[in-house]
Structure 1
Amino acid sequence: MNNKKLANKLDQFLEIHQFKDYCPNGLQIEGKAEIKKIITGVTACQALIDVACAEDADAILVHHGFFWKGEAQEITGMKYKRIKSLLDKEINLYAYHLPLDVHPELGNNAELARLLGITDRRPLEPWDKRSVGRVGKFAQAISPADLAERIESVLARKPLHIDGGKKEIKSIAWCTGGGQDYINIAAEQGIDAFISGEVSERTVHIAREMGIHFYAAGHHATERYGVKALGEWLQGEFDCDVTFVDIDNPV
């Protein structure tokens, strides 16, 4: 398939025009025009780029790409090495940040909910259909300890659990990655527990004082599954070879 047509297809499918993001969504680095082999991963780090180069891939599709708001604009050091590796091999780089978090079918939040058995999903901020935070429920109430075990089993990573005091969890809110500050909105709505990827010092006090269980399950671990699902969707839509590569990241 053509690299520009692929960008247009992904842009439309993920509705990138709906978002004000911290980075450009879509084709970030242009490479060869014809794409047959795609490597997907969470972040466009050097290790993932090296795999793509070794595999003679035509494109990389990630959640975390380049050119973040507020970062230095100079292309030097680590950024230079990454971009040079892509340009030398004419590898296209596609990145989708918030649009991939929010997508109702294949997004990071949707995939995490599917894996954990969360149903009746809706925006955590009811006034914003594009709210990154989500809320839902479990079919049956679960104990805080059992939820921690379920998260560890699904993500292969032990979560940090801050006890909010409630003995059972029925309602649940979540936001993958660095969405820990959505805990305030969840607590104000009386939701039993909140899951995110990261934790801040203040999050611990909020959970304890507002009576909501909090689970930090890992930024990388909670955001593996959206880009993987998107790649599988692409493989089904087009005649192309798509491989997900999980570069280990304990954070």
Structure 2
Amino acid sequence: MKGLRVLVTGGASGIGAATARRFAQEGAGVVVLDRDATAEFACVEADLSDDASVRAAVAAAAGRLGGLDVLVNNAGIGAVGDVTANPDEEWHRVYDVNVLGIVRTTRAALPHLRDSGRGAIVNTCSIAAWTGIPQRALYSTTKGAVQALTLAMAADHLHDGIRVNCVNPGTADTPWVRRLLDAAEDPEAERAALQARQPTGRLVSAEEVAHAIVHLADPRSSATTGVVLAVDGGMHSLRVPARPTPTED
């Protein structure tokens, strides 16, 4: 993967930062797109809800890297509540970032990816696209759309030589999840509940998701397209109770 030219959206923290780090470790050139310019890698700032901003950022990233081989559409925002909880404005805002953000970034990157000869797109989706999770109606809706969009893009761009896949992480130990836990009445009890619903009995790490993203983008995975890869500790497919957490004397 040495010399692979990679753009990671939402690359300043969490899964995005872990992914950028892993690509760099494998010898790839990496630029991240984020609203937070404090990223540890070269960063272009953009607002995913603004098409002109996205186009300018993608062009700047391609200019720095000398083209693009891989686009990781990782940036996204969360929402909490059932279907009655979020006003229309929030539905539009979250959908605009989580779904249309991918559309805008991909649209801008496609000419570069077509020229690559080893183009790949990996979208960060969520187990919420497959599994009903309480109090995630809006978030789950957007991730269901991302999963469907991934498959449609894989079909559309097969003959462009661009592979398109997505990863569906389970509950991951990321800054967003930590903020949710901090806001809970009993953060420790809430964390224990999140861990218990994972068959492995623990949260998914950002590094584990990054490993899957890099695998899907790797040119050696050239026969892999239209794949939805769960990185969820078995949450989607297994019905095995988590092992009890050992207690200390």
Q: Normalising to structure 1: TM-score of the pair?
A: 0.31
Query: Which has more helix, going by share of residues?
Result: 2
Larger Rg: 1
Query: Which has more strand, going by share of residues?
Result: 1
